[in-house]
Structure 1
């Protein structure tokens, strides 16, 4: 069984690819910069990319407006005989979002499908958006949330392992919402990084307009920033604080806690 891993240079995708290969399974990483070039806006090599693929892991870029393109790729994959699709989405997305469009296409076109919806990743604090924001502000993370906004952060390793499990075992027709073991405020998370070499060591709540200005001033696209603000609004309303049992349901163990992530990522 050969698996195609899209988003193979991203925080989850590269971990999915590495775990498949660690298990001795045939896997190909695809993205605009990976070993196999895959550009959602260029369909010219899609048939070549899908040649011999039996399973596909698909990540839809956040805030890209490419939902219909990714859905079109899933159509092409189904027509090429790919039998299993595992789709990574985000906790709290709506049916009309890019991720929602891709979820529905996977359900409609594949004999076997699994949807994973992840909360914010622990790794956002060390290698993702939060880390980049903090580095630009001398370690201060400025977000449009309140001091009481809580998030059940999940480790990218858990998300990746859940994806691999769904690819190699029978999780057809299942939709999993993946969270960490507890909901933490951003201030609580930052306290955990005190005395470490984490790029995030201060936190400040700002309004949406200030966040928008900071982010676009750094060159982030307006659509992407709007999508981030939508996710933050969900978090402020309490929609990111839910703690689920789905990591345990897929992996048979407890999710990695934030304390362990901080310890292991900053030693």
Structure 2
């Protein structure tokens, strides 16, 4: 049977990130996409203009509506703008005994615009991270979670990924895309094993929604395989979407990825 995958996140009216990128990714990977909206964001390829959070109780009502009716095989969590929403999401995960939970700790947009407040960061660390299968921070997000002001250098990534395990997720995928250089390094670890993914950096301005897409791809694949396999295959999907993004002409800033590269290029 086709797997049912739920995203809990904010929107992107330009279609490159957030809920829209999640739904495209789930669909491209052959799963049935569902969504719970936590925030409505006014953004495009050039940046975030403003956002409005959804009432936390209504976020809970959306989650209840899905789980009361549908078998959910995996959940991806993106933008959770305040502590009240974090608390509701964490409570619902526990209530419904959700397995295969992927947390993309969306805190800052690619443009540098903040998408979360400080109370939400603390709630994520204390009550949400212990419930997730894998958390997928980039370097700036990892620095927020670790209370570090200096960027994490590439040679310290494994050490810092293991430090993030102290916040009690099952797995950490620390992504090195924000670092400079021709090589891109990601580190995946749990309490027993460590995996490294190293590849050539793909040069393109169309990289809006990269983090959303990777975490969503992992979520779609988790019901079918173990975490290291899901990460490896998800990174292959992301590579194709990045390399094919020059076929799109969307906006004047950081354009979107080509989520359907494997389908439309046949």
Q: What band does the TM-score fall into relative to the shorter chain?
A: 0.3 to 0.5
Structure whose alpha-carbon radius of gyration is higher: 1
TM-score, structure 2 normalization: 0.44
